[in-house]
Amino acid sequence: MAQYSLTASTLDVSQEAILVDTSVLVGAFLPGDQFAETAKCFLDSAECQLIVPVEVVVEAWGLIVGRGKRFDRGVDLLTWLSYPGNADLIAGSTSHFPRWNDLTRNKQIDVVDAVLLCLADEMSKACRLRPPAKIATFDTRDFLRFVAGRLRFRLYDLRSDDIY
């Protein structure tokens, strides 16, 4: 049997880092989305580090290209992500899977939301972020259930501009 190894990567995280949820990318890249204007404005004017987990990219691609039938806009998303300074991509580790599975199964939340929650929590602790990292989203439903809990993160509701 042959071995295949993945190299770990390191990301410098700023105190103002914001993790970007799928709803923001879909809003910005799927024409006609109800949050299109706000999402584009947020991505274009963000003066802080935007961090996008690969799992979010995969989910956004599925919604833009699969459901939305807009391959051209999916390619635009990938092009935007590949342009230096727009966002930092980060890949989750398979070692985090048990935690994602636990949140998804026991709290019945979306797995990509579980990835974002765990990543924000781990990043906030490891980088000693005070206040904790923000998750920017238009879909606060799953995240609001954890705001006052033990996970370290802040929620940035782009619909209302509120931070929880």
| Domain ranges (residues) in the chain | 18-163
Give the separation between CA 119 and CA 102, rounded to whole angstroms. 14
Angle, CA of 131, 137 and 142, to the nearest 5°: 90
Distances (CA, A) of 58 to 12, 53, 88, 91: 23, 9, 15, 11
**Residue 18 pLDDT:** 98
Type of residue found at 36: A
Q: Which CATH architecture has domain 18-163?
A: 3-Layer(aba) Sandwich (3.40)
Within the chain, which residues score under 70 in pLDDT?
Answer: 5-8
pLDDT, position 6: 65
Strand partners, 50: 18
Q: What are phi and psi of 40, to 5 degrees?
A: -60, -45
Beta-sheet strands, E only, within the chain: 18-20, 50-53, 88-90, 134-137, 154-157, 162-163
pTM of the predicted model as reported, rounded to 2 decimal places = 0.92
C-beta separation of 19 from 53 below 8 A? yes
Residue-wise pLDDT tens digits, 89-117: 998 777 788 888 888 888 899 999 999 99
